[in-house]
Chain A
Amino acid sequence: AQSVTQPDIHITVSEGASLELRCNYSYGATPYLFWYVQSPGQGLQLLLKYFSGDTLVQGIKGFEAEFKRSQSSFNLRKPSVHWSDAAEYFCAVGPLNTGFQKLVFGTGTRLLVSP
């Protein structure tokens, strides 16, 4: 069965420091990978997605993620964190070749930004 693991429940980063959020997946086919961000009490906003091509994907708000097939990972990075990045981040995986998305989400990583 498909699964997504985000091993870090909470991460605290100083403002201006770099960030890496980990995501590992278990999937039997070529995956379609996403990172979403959720501010408190809000819906989810897509940061970036990967389905083929360059394994380093650029997203909104200065985020990027790298797909590493050999490690079954899709880690999210940002070189310099801003206080407004404090939120919960979800990694998700889905099937590439269906007419609809049936995504499996990780349990999320809550990012805290210290001054």
Chain B
Amino acid sequence: SQTIHQWPATLVQPVGSPLSLECTVEGTSNPNLYWYRQAAGRGLQLLFYSVGIGQISSEVPQNLSASRPQDRQFILSSKKLLLSDSGFYLCAWSVGGRDEQYFGPGTRLTVT
């Protein structure tokens, strides 16, 4: 069966520090991968998606970046965090155009 992992589960970082969030998927090949951010009281905002290794599409201009070094690994990064980067970050995967997206447990990021 397929599983999706995210780590860390929670993270507190000072403004200006770097960020690296990791997401891995098991039990499937060549998934579509997604990074979302969920701010308090707001819906999910799609940040990045990837349809293959090294293929990253950005949805929102910001100081975040994403990479996909392996088929089932998706990394969200920042060189310098802003206060506005605080939120709940969710990774998701899907296979094909008609399948649901499967979400990971999320990472709670607090920038202080």
Interface residues of A (CB under 8 A from B): 4, 9, 32, 34, 36, 41-46, 49, 51, 90, 92, 95-103, 105-108
B105 at the interface (CB under 8 A from A): yes
| Closest Cβ–Cβ distance, residue B110 to chain A (whole Å) | 13
- In whole angstroms, how far apart are the Cα atoms of A107 and B41 in the complex? 7
What are 6 residue pairs bridging A and B, where the CB atoms are less than 8 Å apart in the complex?
A34-B100, A96-B97, A98-B97, A100-B32, A101-B101, A103-B101
Which B residues are CB-close (under 8 A) to A51? 98
A42 touches B97 (CB 8 A): no
B104 at the interface (CB under 8 A from A): yes
Interface residue tally on B, bucketed by range = 20 to 34
A41 touches B108 (CB 8 A): yes
A105 touches B100 (CB 8 A): no
User: In this complex, which of A44, A98, A102 has the most chain B Cβ atoms within 10 angstroms of its Cβ?
Assistant: A44
Which B residues are CB-close (under 8 A) to A102? 46, 49
Interface residues of B (CB under 8 A from A): 32, 34, 41-44, 46, 49, 51, 90, 92, 94, 96-106, 108
- In whole angstroms, how far apart are the Cα atoms of A105 and B44 in the complex? 6
Which A residues are CB-close (under 8 A) to B43? 4, 90, 105-108
A43 touches B97 (CB 8 A): no
- In whole angstroms, how far apart are the Cα atoms of A45 and B101 in the complex? 9
User: In this complex, which of A90, A101, A106, A107 has the most chain B Cβ atoms within 10 angstroms of its Cβ?
Assistant: A101
A99 touches B100 (CB 8 A): no
Known A99-B51, A106-B43; contact A43-B104, beta-carbon cutoff 8 A: yes
Known A32-B98, A43-B104; contact A103-B46, beta-carbon cutoff 8 A: yes
- In whole angstroms, how far apart are the Cα atoms of A103 and B90 in the complex? 14
- B9 to A, closest residue via Cβ: A41
